[in-house]
Structure formats: structure tokens, C-alpha cells
Structure 1
Amino acid sequence: MKDNQLLTHFRREEHAFIERGLDWIYQVSVRHQEIVTPFLDPREQYILSTLVKRENKDIYMGKDGGYNGAERCRACLYPDYLMPDEYSFSLWYISLQSEVPLEHREVLGSLLGLGMKRLMIGDILPKPSGADIVIAAEMKDYVMGNLTKVGRKGIIISEIVRDQLWIEQQKGLEQQTVVSSLRLDTVIASICRVSRSKSTDMVKLGKCKVNWQKIDRPDYIVTSGDVISIRGYGRIRLNEVQEATKKGKLPIRFLRNP
């Protein structure tokens, strides 16, 4: 279900997801049944919730990633007279013989190396002796039968329940600053307290990602729900972009993790 006027309000690279989201909403409204999505990143969650509110067809959206504060979540779209049964994911603990943590990139690379798609993988939580992972329930048997190593490290994988997930306290507090524009280099300069020229170079050199995609354009416009990863400076989540001040400045609220 294509809506050209709607698409103009979003980035070109987001159009395919928007059309998919509109199709999900249409299916729920016509078939009167719930739909559970693959894992969505925060920006996709924001877009889908915006679409659900816009359509206003007595359709509701819930989301769950296995624990409160999960970054990647499966969403459930359902009519107002139904309640979602479950979000269909499986929780696993990857352990090592030695007491060492596994890096996020190591675990993700091994899962993708099995042929899994990123949308079937939720959060990966490194811990002092391995890592916990959240995956789509559809992949449970496949992962259990095929994931025997992470990199060159032999592992033991065992299923766990929610209460056993390794959940660190969220680092950092929500902060606020004011920017002159929502250009990527401008936002980075303000939040990371570096010069505009340095933030521009960081972007051009490929050191920045927005919503897990490498962006090398300093003039790329960011917005609410975006997650910005900067090599050497950590991760920034833009929680809110507020209305412009009388001087044209934009107050933004963000969470920054090292």
C-alpha cells in the first residue's frame, strides 16, 4: 500500500520499511489478527508507531525485546479487541570454559555466519563469562544445532529465561543540549564537544553510523529515534527533538553511552 505523500516525510532509504509497515497495518485491519514483526531497531520502532497512530484504525502496537529497555524489539500489531499472546523470541546463554566476556561483534558475526538475517537477532548482551542473546523463536532449533563456536572459541549454549538475562544498569543519564541544525556533524560536535571541523572529518572518514548504517555525509539529517554510533566516542540515542526556539535553535534530549 503505497502512499507517496506520506513517503515524502521520511528518508528515501526508509521508504521500503514504511511500505512494509503499511502492509502489516493493512493485514491487521483486514484479517483481524495480530502480526508479530521481526526485530526492529529503535528508528524502525519509532516509524512503525508513527504509522499506527496515523492510520487510526483501532490498531494497537506493543513491543518487547526480552527485557525492559531492550534496544532491538519485536513489535506486535493487533486489533483493539485482542491482546498479544507473545512476541516469539528465545533467550540463550553462550558460555566459555574460561572466564572471559565475548564481544558483541564476535557473537553477531558468528550468528550472521550461520546464514541468519539480522532481523532475526535481538540484543546481544556481553557478560563476564560469555554473552546472552535474544533471537527469534523461529530460529531456536537452527541456532541450537549449528552454533558451536564464536570465532575460534568453542562454546556451550543453553536456553535461559527472562530473569536470567544479564542486564547491566543503563549507563548515563538523559541529557539535553541545543543545536543550530540536525545535521549529523553539527549534532556530533555539540554532544561530543569537539570542533565542527573535527566532527565533519569523523563523518567523512567513515567513523560514524546512524541506525547501524555507515554514513559519510556530514549534512545527513538526524531526528528523534536515531541511534548514532561514533568510533571512539560511544553511542548516542536521540530521544527527542523539541520545537525550535525563537532564535531558531533546536533543543534535543539524548542518552549517551560510552
Structure 2
Amino acid sequence: MRLLEATEKYKHISFDLWLTLIKSNPEYKLHRNRLFKDFFAISQPIETVSAAIRKFDVLTNSINEKVTKNFDTYEIYYLILDHLGVPIDSYNRQQLAQFYLETEALLMQYKPLLLQDSLPNFLQQLVADGKTLNILSNTAFIKGSSLRKIIEHYELAPYFAFQLYSDEVGFSKPGFQIYENAYSHIQQLGNIEKQEVLHVGDNKVSDYDGALAYGFNAYLLTQETIYESKLQSPQNYRSA
């Protein structure tokens, strides 16, 4: 079943963000890692710095999925600095905030890319069909406030009734709390039952299993199931 067809019987469609609507610009990470090395005066090679950033990106995301809380961006910075042998007392919160502003400037210079060029038309079709939409995304290095700017840049914001990011609500997918938060917003849009919500995402644990456990329905995106592609197997789509 194609995604557009899968949405037909639902009143509301919830979307993950990364690898569902957008994907990273590889140039951004290269420049961000170099900035991290230079800003914090790290003497180790850029390859070591990049590996440390990747390590704690994956680790904190995994922990967030398990405990369903949310690591603060600055907490992740401190973990990386400690791992690289930099005393965390060397930098205060104000300095970390300045570093974040510089990374956000890089983000706007090397913006994430739309997962597919057809995405705006796809969202427009859903809204034209009378459906309401939202974004529900875990965050790590990039805060929700910055991601909203990316959504605005691509002129996608008008399609979404609301956007929820884990750093703003304090909870992460696949936890009950963040889905409950989303559903409380959905209910404000109209008389929409849980089973009338379809959550779409690329992460089996956070987006598929998490949505189903809460009581939503779920659609798992893969490289073969993006938007108008056919599903690999019935397991990619489930109606509770």
C-alpha cells in the first residue's frame, strides 16, 4: 500500500522529521565538527573530534529512546568535551550558548535537504483532502527552535497544525508522554480518536512501535517505502 493510500481513512497524520521529511546536509556536519574543534581549542585531530561527536550523538539518542527523556544539547556538549579530555569547568553555559548560535548559523548556511522534492505537493494533497498534520520529532544537537526555521525556509509550516520537539517538551519518542502531548494538541483540532491518527516515521522503535503502543496507527518509511513507493511487506504498515 502506498503512503497516500494508507492515509485515506485517517483524520490526522503525524510526521517524524529526520529521514521522514528532511535529511542532513553532509556539508553541515563537516563544518560543525571543525567549529567544535576550533571553538573549544581541542588539540586532537579532527577525525578524533568527529568520532567523539558521532559517538555521543548515537549514545544519547539511544538512551533517550530507552528512558524516553531528553538530553539537553549542552549536556551532550559537556559529554563530548569530557571524552576529549577538556575540563568541563573551562566553559560555562553562556559560552555553550554562543557555540550553539554559531552552529545554527552553519545550519542555515548548509540547510538540511527535503527528503524528496515532491514533499510539498504531497503535504498539500493531504491538507486538500481535509486532514490535519503535525511534526513530532526527537532532537539532539539541533534544537526545535532551529528546526522550525528550516520548516519555515521550505515553506512547509502552513501545512502543520503544530510542531512538537523533544527538547521543548522534555520527553522523547517512543515514550507515552510525548505521544500523549501530541494527542492533547490533536484533540484541540477536532473530534479525533486515537485510532484516527496515523504516525509516519523511519524509526522502527521510536516511530512505529512507539506510536502503536500509544494507540495510534503507524507507517514505517524505508528507502523503498518513501511516499509513493510500495511497501516492502505488510509489517511496514499497521492499523491497530
TM-score band, normalised by the shorter chain? under 0.3
Bigger radius of gyration:
1
Structure 2 length-normalised TM = 0.25
Greater relative contact order, per chain length (Cα 8 Å cut-off, separation 6+): 2
Give the structure with the larger helix fraction.
2
Structure 1 length-normalised TM = 0.24
Give the structure with the larger strand fraction.
1
